[in-house]
Amino acid sequence: MNNDKSKAPKKFHLSQRHHMTIPWNSFIQNENVPARNASLRERASIVGRIGIIMLSCGTGAWRVRDAMDNVARKLELTCSADIGLISLEFTCFSNEHSYTQVLSLPNTGVNTDKLNILENMVKNFDDDFSSLTVRQIHHIIDKVQERPKQYTPVASGLAAALACSAFIFLLGGGIPEMICSFIGAGIGNWTRAIMGKHSMTTIASIAISVAVACLTYMYTFKIFEFYFQVLAQHEAGYIGAMLFVIPGFPFITSMLDISKLDMRSGLERLAYAIMITLVATLVGWLVALIFNFRPENFLPLGLSPIVIMLLRLPASFCGVFGFSIMFNSSRKMAMVAGFIGALANTLRLELVDLTSMPPAAAAFFGALLAGLIASVVNRYNGYPRISLTVPSIVIMVPGLYIYRAIYNIGTNQIAVGALWLTKAALIIMFLPLGLFVARALLDKEWRHFD
């Protein structure tokens, strides 16, 4: 079973759809009974539907299970769930009876706006929803599930352009690299958004959008090189054009799920993130081979440490704000995440520059700071922690390291590639560890397994 509510195209018969729509209204047996007094089957349908929609938003298994448990308790049920990347199996118990459902999604993605609405719904379920009828609750869930994305493909493209141009500055790139990355990433993510609206498969949309982004960067750079005599060394920034595909949410949530022993969800998310990363870097490598572009070091910017630090704050804000918009956060939520990311990422970079601290250790402290601030913000305005922390640290994911690893392995420089891959793996492991420690310090529920 799945949770896909989109209508089948007219030219296809419904039976040809690989993922079929669940007729949730068919579970309704009594129109006038409050949900808490409804049958086991009706109440379980509410629990499962909220869980599968939360899963579709990209959040981890622990949060999905916690939401399902909270709703089940309000409906006087006991719930046990097994959760993966795009599917969940759960059983609800009531007295001597039980009811089991298996639900699945056609695809995965990230939607922090919808996640915020669902978390508020779960938090206020006892006061606002448990006295409603089953049909009324399903009608409210219908509105949440069918809620359109807040941003058009053009807006998503601009958000990626802003994020990647800021990203490339934080990596050490200058104005030529930033402009070319802005254009390449913007057109690339616009392409991905258009393909997403037509339900293209994940691998195809990633591969084509990365190819478009890289080719756009290459041609833009050639124009700059020919007409404005830009130095050839500025070609090093082409990695920035593809950074909009960094699978930050699955990378981070995979490690958090593994840390809570949700091994199925964690390993599936990790495999998905690795697949996206490999497809993106391999496509980028192939395009670079065509143009004979190599991942060289960036030219020195010639700025003092104080100026660089002051510029890193707004650049980090812009990068995190752009990624938040790509995750469909509201503008206010994106700004909050941007401020958190500005502080956390600047701390990370300054620790690397001003001390002898390795990048992986600095990433831990940056993520720790982001997690601590996000926990305080969560208590103040209720924004989901993951909607704030992941955008604020996704800019710390070492996309440049991963690309250099694949490039060097692809050119048979195995030792160099393994070195870059090891550096990237250490940083990726320390980022969720910082979030885990912050959550364990400030969330007593997270500290315990029961």
**Closest listed residue to residue 167, CA positions, set 152, 155, 184:** 184
Average pLDDT, integer, range 169-189? 92
Q: What is the mean pLDDT of the chain?
A: 88
Strand-by-strand arrangement of the 87-94 sheet: 78-83, 87-94, 97-104
Tokens of 446: 């997270």
- Dmax over Cα atoms in the chain, in whole Å? 79
d(CA 165, CA 186): 10
Secondary structure class of 40 (helix, strand, coil): helix
d(CA 221, CA 243): 17
Average pLDDT, integer, range 11-40? 74
Average pLDDT, integer, range 359-365? 94
pLDDT tens digit string along 324-359?
999 999 999 999 999 999 999 999 999 999 998 999
Secondary structure class of 121 (helix, strand, coil): helix
Residue 16: pLDDT band by 50, 70, 90 thresholds? low
pLDDT tens digit string along 53-69?
999 999 999 999 999 99
pLDDT tens digit string along 389-436?
989 998 898 888 998 898 889 889 999 999 999 999 999 999 999 999
Average pLDDT, integer, range 287-296? 81
What's the half-sphere exposure (Cβ side, CA atoms, 13 Å) at 353? 15
2 has pLDDT over 50: no
Residue 17: pLDDT band by 50, 70, 90 thresholds? low
243 and 399 Cβ atoms separated by less than 8 Å: yes
pLDDT tens digit string along 225-262?
878 777 767 677 788 889 999 898 899 999 999 999 99
Average pLDDT, integer, range 159-185? 92
**Closest listed residue to residue 170, CA positions, set 315, 47, 298:** 315
Per-residue pLDDT at 410: 87
